[in-house]
Amino acid sequence: MSNTRKKNVNLTPPPRPGGKGAPMRIPGQKMDFKVLKRVFGYVGTKYRLLMIVVVLCIFLSSIANIFSSLFLGDLIDEYIEPMLSSGSTDFAPLLAMLLKMAAIFLAGIASTFTYNFIMVRVSQGVLKSVRDDMFTHMQSLPIKYFDTNSHGDIMSRYTNDIDTLRQMISQTIPQVISSAVTIVSTFVAMVSKSIPLTVTVIICIIIMMFFTGKIAGNSGKFFVRQQESIGDVNGYIEEMITGQKVIKVFCHEEKAKEEFDELNEELYHNAYSANKFVNMLGPVNNNLGHLQYVIIAVLGCFLAVLTTSGAIPEEGILSIFAASAGTVATFLQLSKSFTMPINQISQQLNSVVMAMAGAKRIFALLDEESEKDEGYVTLVNAKYDSDGSITETPEHTGLWAWKHPHEDGTTTYTKLQGEVRFFDVDFGYNEEKIVLHNITLYAEPGQKVAFVGATGAGKTTITNLINRFYDLADGKIRYDGININKIKKADLRRSLGIVLQDTNLFTGTVMENIRYGNLSATDEQVIEAAKLANAHSFISRLPEGYNTMLTSNGANLSQGQRQLLSIARAAVADPPVMILDEATSSIDTRTESLVQKGMDALMKGRTVFVIAHRLSTVQNSDVIMVLEHGVIIERGTHQDLIDKKGKYYQLYTGAFELE
């Protein structure tokens, strides 16, 4: 597997305390509204009604906050000042006003609690839908995607990138809606109280937004790289965890730390550059807000003094400059209510840009092209009649046939036998480098075909083509006389059993891991398959036998035991064609002799493709093909090839070293 993480990163580190250097410049990162629209699509599809309730609750909460500011002015002008002037001790009107406001405040608190409670459900529901879509789509991706992308980077999309969406949906979206409602309602309230003071606030806000734009504009361009760097670091850590034994055996710890430091340094640089400007926004905007508060207080008090002294008339054009003590107190509160949401929106830019960067990586996975399957020939249960005809049946008979619909509306059935033929096949993992050249071969039903040759000669590639993990560059492969491009991939692979050199066991019991080859297999069939692979003996000695739990890819088993389970898994699938890719390479010689007996029983009556470096395991093959640089240079039985005294003879006698 190849990984796409970067190595030997050459960057100028950002300034640190006591350090030197300046951050490198990267082209700006603009807001991608198509990505934002797709994110909102997840919210609106399933939670439209809940979001309407959220908006209503946010509206009520914001209105309650506005009333609290207006209440202060009315309290001073209509209750406190008249009572002070008249010396009245009747507090009933004041108490009624306070109770009225208390009810409004309680409604605001209830609304705030409600929309925050709903947003938890919405955000977690959206994340579940995104993860479901990601995992579902991932299952449809071709093997090539996983061969060319770091597994740790893919995992980072499920964790770090998803978490950026959670923050945006649960916190940023309601905050932005609340801020927008607050700004509009506060502006209307300010205009109704004092136009001159409103103009003053607007001028201060324009200055504040200018600084916000300058500061925030320098950070957005680094957020995508920050998320990519997190994926690179996670991918490297995943590699190091998996390969810890190799690292320690070859004393690679220091080199591993150096490479990690390079990736971590790049992450530090991108995260530093992304966050340093945004983190300035809060202090800068807060201090500008304090300055605005002072300006409004001074100007408001000046207008109130002039109004009280009669310099500003209460009627006529100049009355727009009139102000009372209550107006000034109200306006000071309103100005804070007006600037605070703007500060909050600017501070949420961090979450928005991070979420957009994470969403881009998520949608990049979702937009990866699914594995193409234009096949229409399917595998069905069949009955073979005495006259040789084939009949499809819904019952499981243990017999299979290819169902081939034709353009004229007719359907024919072909017996599943396991005949595989290659005709002039060329293939390359990319167009620039062809690894198989003019491969022509055939495997009759029940034959055992072996591939031998140096590492990289193309042996495993041939078996990958039979499974259609990759498609041909040129040539044709026929399976039971049918072009494999016409066979549905799922049906094709169901007819093939494969045992790889690298075993993969999943978290679950031994029974469940073997049954992975055939989910409908009974316990008895699973045990029979284990006996066939000579795995039953060691399984019986496990603490809980077939119910023993396996974790961490079967770390509590030996490599040989894991391989035996992999062979048993293929046995329970009971396919007509078997592919054994170094199936016994991880098993000691004594165990191999036991397994070989089970393998011989497993291979009986099946077409078998064997890849092996131990030439002793392929001597009984019906045909042995020797590959070199993607070309079949020799073919024949073991004795035929020995008699030719060519490359196979050199390999077998040890007179030639694999290169």
pLDDT tens digit sequence for 172-188: 888 888 888 888 888 88
HSE at residue 45, side-chain half, CA atoms within 13 A, is 11
**pLDDT tier at 365 (50, 70, 90 boundaries)?**
very high
Q: Which amino acid is at 148?
A: T
Which stretch of 28-37, 92-101, 415-424, 435-444 has the lowest confidence by average pLDDT? 28-37
Q: What angle do CA 245, 247, 251 make, to 5 degrees?
A: 120
What is the per-residue pLDDT for 657?
A: 44
- The percentage of residues in the chain with a pLDDT greater than 70, rounded to a whole number, is 85
Residues 6+ positions from 268 with CB-CB distance below 8 Å? 13, 14
Domains of the chain, CATH where assigned: 33-366 (1.20.1560.10), 378-415 (no CATH), 420-653 (3.40.50.300)
**pLDDT tier at 25 (50, 70, 90 boundaries)?**
very low
Asked if residues 97 and 67 have their Cβ atoms less than 8 Å apart, the reply is no
404: tokens are 């081939």
Distance CA 283, CA 279 (A): 8
More confident residue, 527 or 256: 527
Choose the most confident range, by mean pLDDT, from 322-326, 332-336, 573-577, 612-616: 573-577
165: tokens are 């969406």
pLDDT in tens, 470-495: 888 889 999 999 999 999 998 998 88
More confident residue, 97 or 438: 438
What is the per-residue pLDDT for 12?
A: 36
Distance from the first to the final alpha carbon of the chain: 21
What is the per-residue pLDDT for 245?
A: 65
Q: How far are the Cα atoms of 7, 223, 336, 361, 362 from residue 228, in angstroms, in the given order?
A: 13, 9, 39, 8, 11
Asked if residues 553 and 546 have their Cβ atoms less than 8 Å apart, the reply is no
Q: Please report where in the chains the tokens 């006003």 appear, as a residue.
A: 97
- The percentage of residues in the chain with a pLDDT greater than 90, rounded to a whole number, is 12
